[in-house]
Amino acid sequence: MTVTNPAVNKLNKITLSLKKTSFVKKRICGADDAAQYIGQFYQSDIDIYESFFILLLDRANNTIGYAKISQGGCVGTVIDTKIIAKYCIDSLAQSVILAHNHPSGNKQPSTQDIEITKKVKNTLAIFDCQVHDHIILTSENGFFSMQENGLI
């Protein structure tokens, strides 16, 4: 006699569909555009918590979505590349812009910032999705573009 577990035999059905939302599309033509667009995702807590976002782009560099990947404490946050890859795959993004804030106001990237950028870039390359930039935002000192500074 064979006993089967219905929960194990149940298949998950995955579908691909387009859902219309009120998301405002914008063409991103450089780091200034990206920093301005991403800046709207941060609230008054930009000087308190470090938060990591991704901006998803189509082939023409038009925004197709964004996601908050994580929020941490005042000195760091944990980034899971699998979650970033999932959003890129689900949205069929051609490229992505990474972004996070530094509550300290120091816009220079840390060693960990540079390492996670390389890790995400290598992960997304498997899916033919490019990392265009990694923007570090501060509330008073502007932003830092890793692409404009030769770090990508």
Tens of pLDDT, residue by residue, the chain (152 residues) = 544 555 555 566 655 555 656 667 899 999 999 999 999 998 888 999 999 999 999 999 999 999 999 998 888 899 999 999 999 999 999 999 999 999 999 999 999 999 999 999 999 999 999 999 999 999 888 999 999 999 98
Q: What does the block give as tokens for 24?
A: 């405002």
Q: What is the pLDDT of residue 43?
A: 84
Spatial CB neighbours of 29, under 8 Å, sequence gap ≥ 6: 61
* Structural domains present in the chain: 27-145 (3.40.140.10)
Q: What is the pLDDT of residue 120?
A: 97
Global pTM value: 0.83
Cα separation of 53 and 87, whole Å?
A: 11
**Alpha carbons within 13 A on the beta-carbon side of 92:** 4
